[in-house]
Copies of this chain bind each other. A is one copy, B any other.
Amino acid sequence: MNGDYTRRMTESGAVEREQGNGRDPDAVSAFVEGFAAQLVEAGMQRMAARVFAALLASDAGALSSAELGEQLQVSPAAVSGAVRYLSQVHMVSREREPGSRRERYRVHSDQWYEALTNRDAILKRWGQTLRVGVDSLGAETPGGQRIAETLAFFEYLEGELTKLMERWREERARIFGESS
């Protein structure tokens, strides 16, 4: 049922550490799948969610396409699609590895919260639609007023979220230091 993209076990049959340290692959996988499931529930595409969770849990905060494919047991095509989506929404950035034509995908640890609230673009589009709605219905009609109120809320939200994220950046620096 799945195309067997490289095995998870070593030839000795023992479950082996993935990178340098003593990570338990099963526990990691459990977390990855669990968190991904919640992202899916919140509306993210399944494969994108799994890739993102895997990156978040990875040691280096970055993995290559091949590593992702192996860990998640999916085809290169699936990884490619997921990564395309994730970089479009700025949740992941791609970087060329120095030598080889291998690419790595990275969660910038901070950059991705921004994405979460960087619904800016989205909020703007919603604003557009709602404004048209108010016009269509007429600003004096009950429906028009209801939509105008929704619009006002979104505009408020947009401003407040910006401020909130600024405060978070400070808070974050205070707690975790300036590290990337």
List chain A positions with a Cβ less than 8 A from chain B: 21, 23-24, 27-28, 30-31, 34-35, 38, 42-44, 56-61, 107, 109, 113, 122, 125-126, 129-130, 132-133, 136-138, 141-143, 145-147, 149-150, 152-153, 156-157, 160, 164, 167-168, 171-172, 175-176
| Interfacial chain B residues near A129, Cβ < 8 Å | 31, 34-35, 38
Q: A60-B142, A141-B23, A142-B59 are in contact. Are A149 and B133 (CB under 8 A)?
A: no
- Alpha-carbon gap, A165 to B150, bound state (A): 13
B175 and A136 contacting across the interface, CB-CB below 8 Å: no
5 new A-B contacts at CB < 8 Å, known A28-B137, A38-B129, A43-B44: A35-B129, A38-B125, A57-B146, A57-B147, A160-B167
A23, B137: Cα distance in complex, Å: 6
CB-defined contacts of A58 to chain B, threshold 8 Å: 143
- Chain A contact surface mostly: helix
Residues of B within 8 A of A143 (CB): 23, 28, 56-59, 61
Roughly how many angstroms separate A142 CA and B143 CA in the complex, as a whole number?
52
A-B contact pairs, 11 of them (CB 8 A): A23-B141, A28-B136, A31-B132, A38-B122, A38-B125, A57-B137, A59-B142, A60-B142, A61-B143, A113-B153, A160-B168
C-alpha spacing A151/B157, complex, angstroms? 22
How far is A130 from B28 in the complex, measured between Cα atoms in Å? 12
CB-based nearest B residue for A132: B31
